[in-house]
């Protein structure tokens, strides 16, 4: 079976979700072509697709790189997740027992990866819970949207060194599923908001540090002034 540009793009996004690709990491066209056994033209088409989705950017004479989200983009991604995920739960209705069973299996797989110390599988499954939830609730189109949004917040977590604990995420996922199993959609929505908020708040300290560092640099490089308030020049 031949590899398509969609296959390449999907592999890149999955690697981001598994935190195997870090923000700012270079994606060489020739290296990817060799890895997938395809032409550089096909690789370039896949990278352009990823660029349109906001996952990579191209730097003049340097090549393609995984994006490094700004602080503003980080908060935008979490805000988008709150809107989409709470909306899905609000419109869910009473989930079928088969849906609950599938979600419970997913949470069990998360726990197994955590217990095994498998960092890549753990990161992927914790992010994929939200994609699985969209799919289970019958939102096929939104499952693709959720894959991109969770990949964006995964990049944010990598870049800003999230302190959010994997076990905490798994437990919060289990609580959301429990509320769905009870048919309490309001509680499921409330728990989702709390979960997304706890993940985002784990970034707040490091985001604040980066803001402080930027302000400190700006202050350090501001013009020197004399006692009369005039700028000094050499």
> Is 222 inside any structural domain?
no
- pLDDT above 70 covers a percentage of the chain that reads 87
Domain at 59, CATH number = 1.10.10.10
> Is 217 inside any structural domain?
no
Across 88-170, the runs of DSSP E, i.e. the strands, are none
| Whole-number pLDDT of residue 222 | 55
| Whole-number pLDDT of residue 158 | 87
Q: Please state, in angstroms and rounded to a whole number, the distance separating the CA atoms of residues 35 and 32.
A: 5
* 173 CA to centre of own chain: 16
Q: Based on the fold, state whether residues 76 and 142 are members of the same structural domain.
A: yes
- Compute the average pLDDT of residues 160-182: 91
Q: Based on the fold, state whether residues 124 and 42 are members of the same structural domain.
A: no
| Whole-number pLDDT of residue 233 | 46
Q: Based on the fold, state whether residues 21 and 98 are members of the same structural domain.
A: no
> Is 57 inside any structural domain?
yes
pTM (2 d.p.): 0.81
User: Which residue among 28, 47, 66 closes a domain?
Assistant: 66
Q: Please state, in angstroms and rounded to a whole number, the distance separating the CA atoms of residues 205 and 88.
A: 30
SS3 183: coil
* pLDDT per position as a tens digit, 69-119: 988 898 999 999 999 999 999 888 888 899 999 999 999 999 999 999 999
> Is 223 inside any structural domain?
no
Q: Based on the fold, state whether residues 84 and 176 are members of the same structural domain.
A: yes
pLDDT: which is higher, 219 or 56: 56
Q: Based on the fold, state whether residues 53 and 101 are members of the same structural domain.
A: no
Identify the domain containing residue 117 by its residue range.
71-206
pLDDT: which is higher, 100 or 208: 100
- Compute the average pLDDT of residues 16-24: 94
> Is 105 inside any structural domain?
yes
Q: Based on the fold, state whether residues 85 and 110 are members of the same structural domain.
A: yes
| Whole-number pLDDT of residue 221 | 58
Q: Based on the fold, state whether residues 75 and 189 are members of the same structural domain.
A: yes
Q: Based on the fold, state whether residues 90 and 199 are members of the same structural domain.
A: yes
Nearest to 111 by CA among 98, 126, 96: 126
What domain count does the chain have?
Answer: 2
| Whole-number pLDDT of residue 161 | 73
């Amino acid at each position: 079976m031949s590899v398509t540009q969609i296959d390449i793009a999907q592999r890149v996004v999955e690697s981001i979700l598994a935190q195997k690709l870090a923000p700012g990491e270079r994606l060489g066209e020739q290296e990817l072509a060799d890895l997938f056994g395809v032409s550089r033209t096909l690789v370039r088409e896949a990278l352009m697709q990823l660029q349109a989705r906001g996952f990579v950017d191209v730097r003049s004479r340097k090549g393609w790189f995984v994006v490094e989200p700004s602080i503003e983009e980080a908060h935008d991604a979490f805000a988008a997740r709150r809107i989409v995920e709470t909306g899905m739960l609000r419109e869910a209705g009473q989930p079928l027992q088969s849906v609950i069973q599938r979600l419970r299996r997913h949470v069990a797989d998360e726990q197994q990866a955590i217990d095994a110390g498998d960092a890549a599988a753990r990161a992927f499954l914790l992010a994929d819970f939200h994609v699985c939830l969209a799919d289970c609730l019958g939102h096929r189109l939104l499952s693709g949207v959720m894959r991109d949004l969770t990949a964006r917040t995964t990049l944010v977590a990598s870049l800003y060194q999230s302190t959010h604990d994997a076990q905490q995420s798994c437990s919060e996922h289990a609580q959301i599923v429990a509320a769905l199993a009870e048919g309490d959609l309001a509680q499921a929505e409330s728990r989702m908001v709390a979960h997304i908020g706890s993940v985002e708040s784990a970034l707040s300290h490091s985001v604040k540090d980066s803001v402080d560092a930027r302000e400190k640099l700006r202050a350090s490089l501001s013009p020197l002034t004399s006692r009369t308030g005039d700028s000094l020049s050499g």
